[in-house]
Structure 1
Amino acid sequence: MRNLLLLAVALMVFQKWDSIERYLNPPPDFSSAHSGKVVLYATEWCGYCQKSRELMREHNIPFYEYDIDKSREGRSQYDRLGGRGVPVLLVNGEVIHGYNAKKILKAFSKIQDASLL
């Protein structure tokens, strides 16, 4: 019985490791190195990366972009943020994996709300 319980716990930890690791080791805030609060980790060939660029331009969101295929520094940051696909956005310390317009706009609105205080 004890072995079964240990196996179940080990399986749960394995399945939730990304969440656990981010809690134990939060992603670094790379945005402070750039003038903007939004950093896009993308590639030239990615359609969702292009959609992310268009969304941010439509909403006048200033952003800094790394092409992870061409930038060693960008690839390193992308890896440390747990990137497994593109795009990855870092919005004022919040990591967004993939293209999700609602999440991107919501995260950026938090920046604007904070600047009004």
Structure 2
Amino acid sequence: MKKIIVLIAALAIYQQWDRIKAFVAPEPPVVASSGEVILYSTAWCGYCTKARNFMNEKGIAFREEDIEKSASARQAYEALGGRGVPLLNVKGTVISGYNPQAIAKAAR
């Protein structure tokens, strides 16, 4: 019986290892410096792709953070009031959703 309980506990720890690791040794939050552009996105988001393509076409340098793959990116996203993707932090201006006019205006 003890072996079964230890096996179940080990399996539970294995399945939740990412969460345990983030709890024990959290990554520092990803924060934008004064002149930086950060795109908080997910791999499956079509509007994230549009925002990425728009900034590439306009020559806007940006750093992309996937909120599903990075705990620190998720923390920064939530600290900015993230409720959907894409979420952009353009030099301190937070833009929620794909809005090319707002992105271009804030990136000037």
Q: Same fold (TM over 0.5)?
A: yes
Report deviation, 1:56.
Answer: 0.4
Map of 1:51 onto structure 2: 50
Map of 2:91 onto structure 1: 92
SS of 2:88 mapped into structure 1 = strand
Aligned-residue CA RMSD (Å): 1.6
CA distance in 1, matches of 2:32, 2:66: 15
Q: Could you tell me the percent identity over the aligned residues? A: 53
SS of 1:103 mapped into structure 2 = helix
SS of 2:103 mapped into structure 1 = helix
SS of 1:82 mapped into structure 2 = coil
- Matched length: 79
Q: Deviations over 1:31-72 (max 9, x none)?
A: 119xx6100000000000000000000011110110001011
RCO (CA 8 Å, sep 6+): is it higher in 1 or 2? 2
Map of 2:74 onto structure 1: 75
CA distance in 2, matches of 1:96, 1:103: 7
SS of 2:32 mapped into structure 1 = helix
TM-score (norm 2): 0.70
SS of 1:39 mapped into structure 2 = strand
Map of 1:32 onto structure 2: 33
CA distance in 2, matches of 1:32, 1:73: 15
Q: Superposition pairs for residues 61-72 of structure 1, below 5 Å?
A: 61-72=60-71
CA distance in 2, matches of 1:32, 1:53: 19
CA distance in 2, matches of 1:69, 1:30: 17
CA distance in 2, matches of 1:95, 1:87: 11
Larger radius of gyration: 2
Q: Which stretches in structure 2 are left out of the alignment for 5+ residues?
A: 1-29
